[in-house]
C-alpha cells in the first residue's frame, strides 16, 4: 500500500446546501435567513457591532517596532531559564554550565540568547554558575552563598 492507493470515503462528503431553490427544498423563500432585518439583507461588515465602536478600534495601538514599547517580535530576547531552587541538586563546589544542564535534562535546548539564571528560591551552597545572563537577585544570592556568577559571551 502506498499514497496513490488512498481515496476519500464517498460517504463522508456532505452535499452543499442549495438555498433559495423553492419551497420543496426546505430552504426556499427566505433561504434560512428568517424574516427581514439587517441580517437577512446582503451583508454586514465583519467586526460591525451595531454602531458601537468595534473592538479593533477600542484597543490601544502598538506603533512601530521598539523593544521598550512592547517586547515582541524581532527585538525579543529569548533565554532558556533556570531558577536558583533548581540548582540546589548540585553539590557544593560544582561548576554549573549550560552544557551540564542540557546533559542532565534540566534544560532541553538553549534558546537564541542562551541561558539565564533567575532568582526564585534560595541557594545555600557555594556553586560556580556560568550562564549568559543573571537576574539581579540571582547574582546576589549566588555571591551571598559563597559562589561565583560568571557571564559567558
pLDDT in tens, 59-107: 877 666 666 666 666 667 889 999 999 999 999 999 999 999 999 999 9
Q: Show the cell assigned to 86.
A: 533548581
Q: Show the cell assigned to 21.
A: 431553490
* Strands of the 115-118 sheet, one edge to the other: 80-83, 115-118, 133-134
The reported pLDDT for the residue numbered 62 is: 67
Q: Show the cell assigned to 15.
A: 452535499
Mean pLDDT of 3-19: 86
Q: Is the pLDDT of residue 127 over 90?
A: yes
Q: How far apart are CA 115 and CA 77, in angstroms?
A: 11
The count of other CB atoms within 10 Å of the CB of residue 104 is 9
Residue 134 region, left (φ>0) first, then alpha (ψ -120 to 50), else beta? beta
Domain boundaries, the chain: 20-59, 74-151
Q: Show the cell assigned to 73.
A: 517580535
pTM for this prediction: 0.54
To the nearest whole percent, how much of the chain has pLDDT over 70? 91
CATH 3.100.10.10, applies to 74-151: yes
Amino acid at each position: 500500500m502506498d499514497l496513490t492507493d488512498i481515496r476519500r470515503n464517498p460517504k463522508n462528503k456532505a452535499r452543499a446546501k442549495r438555498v433559495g431553490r423553492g419551497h420543496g427544498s426546505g430552504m426556499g423563500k427566505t433561504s434560512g435567513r428568517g424574516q427581514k432585518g439587517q441580517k437577512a439583507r446582503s451583508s454586514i461588515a465583519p467586526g460591525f457591532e451595531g454602531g458601537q465602536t468595534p473592538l479593533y478600534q477600542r484597543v490601544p495601538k502598538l506603533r512601530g517596532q521598539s523593544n521598550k514599547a512592547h517586547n515582541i517580535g524581532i527585538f525579543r530576547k529569548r533565554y532558556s531559564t533556570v531558577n536558583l531552587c533548581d540548582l540546589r541538586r548540585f553539590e557544593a563546589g560544582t561548576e554549573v554550565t549550560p552544557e551540564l544542564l542540557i546533559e542532565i535534562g534540566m534544560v532541553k535546548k538553549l534558546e537564541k540568547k542562551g541561558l539565564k539564571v533567575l532568582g526564585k528560591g534560595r541557594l545555600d551552597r557555594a556553586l560556580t554558575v556560568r550562564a549568559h545572563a543573571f537576574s539581579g537577585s540571582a547574582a546576589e544570592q549566588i555571591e551571598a552563598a559563597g559562589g561565583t556568577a560568571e557571564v559567558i559571551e
